[in-house]
Amino acid sequence: MNFKRRKIIFILLFITSLSVFAQKTNIDNFILTKMEQLHIPGFEAVAIKDGKVIWTGYYGYQNLEKKIPVTDQTIFEAASTSKTITAAAVMQLYSENKLKLDDDINKYLDFKIFNPDFPEYPITIAQLLRHRSSIDDNVDYLGQFWETNTGDPNIPLKVFIKDYFSTKGKNYNKEKNFYNYTPGSKSNYSNMGIALLGYLVERITGQNFEKYCRESIFRPLDMDNSGWFLKEIDSSKLAMPYSYSDSLKHNQPLGFGGFPDYPAGSLHTNVEQFSHFLLAWTQQGQWNGKSIFDEKAIHTLTPDEFGLGFYTWSQYATNKGELLYMHTGKAIGVSSFISFDPVRKKGLIFICNGDINEGKDWREIIDNLYNNVF
């Protein structure tokens, strides 16, 4: 190789490195600016493409009072993006022929569940996955759990589900626990419907839901620092949830906790480990040479038709016109996002310990990352 050719290659490499550096600087500046605007203490994100992690970002603090920075070891509560794991657990059983999506859920339960206004219409597993079950979230009852962080829930999932859905349950309310329409006829987001899926996994497998996930999803995916309960993780790595007070002009720590409807929103993980799950799903169920999810399950929950969605996800168009299967998450002092494009094999996850308002701010963050990372 002559000197002139070596010089050209060096210049091209130098220009490329400058471009990559400028791109990373743009991303960093945007995220840090947005964190300041929204009073978000800590933020972490990961991007995947073609079966590989292509970018990670860690910003701010997992604990403001102790000045502990966010690192690749920091664990966050994933909020409603947790539902993707619950749906995947159901689809594992589907691929093993242990259930059918159009099955009446009462086939597997030890008590009967039906919409009291339409008892002749069965509620199916597919309806639960697609939020078309006519099951409502009774906020008057559930709000006490969602609005406080007081440690792991002390109500077993079985008891919680029976008390809510059984006509003899102490928290049964025919007007507030169900919508007044037939199952399957309309779509309304339902945390309790996803929690019920968790209990169905228990009934079908004979295992507690958290144990099933640990043995069949987390361990095979090398998600060893992930779990549904605080007792399953290293609390020293857990990001403190915060809520910004306009009157006090600072973030207030909210403490750690979970909900009795935990299959709908209490996963604790970090983006690095969560990416293992997303990578497997975009690689026909494969992770590190192991088959974790069956292709049948993946293709059933990622159809071509608009509106069916991926897991409980809806399709979302970036400003490039790319359609994404995605899910957002919001809980007390926590916001999260997970998405992927099944055609281009790329995906994005971010989690933070602060509040991102639905709408404009979400859109700006998602579009900026998709425009600059990929």
Query: Quick one: which of 373, 218, 346 has its CA closest to 282?
Result: 346
Domain 29-373 annotated CATH 3.40.50.20: no
Mean pLDDT of all residues in 270-293 = 93
Query: Quick one: which of 246, 268, 245 has its CA closest to 257?
Result: 268
pLDDT band for position 148 (50/70/90)?
confident
- Tell me the per-residue pLDDT of 5-35, one tens digit each, with 9 for 90 and over: 555 544 444 444 434 444 567 899 999 999 9
- Produce one character per residue of 228-259: b if its CB has 16 or more CB atoms within 10 Å, e if not: bebebbeeebbbbbbebeeeeeebebbebbbb
Instruction: Give residue 16's pLDDT.
Output: 43
Residue 297 contacts residue 101 (beta carbons within 8 Å): no
Mean pLDDT of all residues in 80-91 = 93
- Tell me the per-residue pLDDT of 219-254, one tens digit each, with 9 for 90 and over: 999 999 999 999 999 999 999 999 998 888 899 999
Cβ-proximal residues to 156 (8 Å cutoff; 6+ apart), any chain: none
Domain extents for the chain? 29-373
What's the pTM?
0.90
- Produce one character per residue of 21-55: b if its CB has 16 or more CB atoms within 10 Å, e if not: eeeeeebeebbeebbeebbbbbbbbbbbbeeebeb
